[in-house]
Amino acid sequence: MSGPYKYDIGELQETATGLRTLKGDYESATDDREATSSSFGFDEISGAVEEFVSSWSDKRKEQIADLESAYEGLTAVIDNYEKLDADGVAQVSGTGGQQ
């Protein structure tokens, strides 16, 4: 595509795949607070670890939603770019542009 915008669809697809993989990793992470905090043995440390794990669990849920949103947005860009490219090829080759 000429003009100021050039996209490497392969790289965009790899990025989308990476977002989907990262989302899966976040979803499969556990937040076993008792096992994590009890492994430290000291009440002060255990309490701090439990608080961190709880906070991390809440933030992880937000990040999962953000990763899904980024994935959906990027795949929409890829789909639209591919459609635009196919329509352009069809118009240049004289086969129309309608699919």
pLDDT of residue 71: 97
Is pLDDT of 85 > 90?
no
Q: How confident is the model at residue 10 (pLDDT cuts 50, 70, 90)?
A: very high
- For the entire predicted model, the pTM comes to 0.69
| Across 67-71, average pLDDT | 97
The position carrying tokens 């701090």 is: 48
Q: Concatenate the DSSP letters of all residues of 54-87 into one string.
A: HHHHHHHHHHHHHHHHHHHHHHHHHHHHHHHHHH
* Tokens at 64, concatenated: 């999962």
Is pLDDT of 94 > 60?
yes
Mutual angle of helices 43-93 and 9-28, in 10-degree steps:
150
> 16: closest CA among 85, 99, 81, 86?
81
Is pLDDT of 55 > 90?
no
More confident residue, 48 or 9: 9
Question: How deeply is 91 buried, as exposed, middle or buried, from its count of CB atoms within 10 A (0-12, 13-18, 19+)?
Answer: exposed
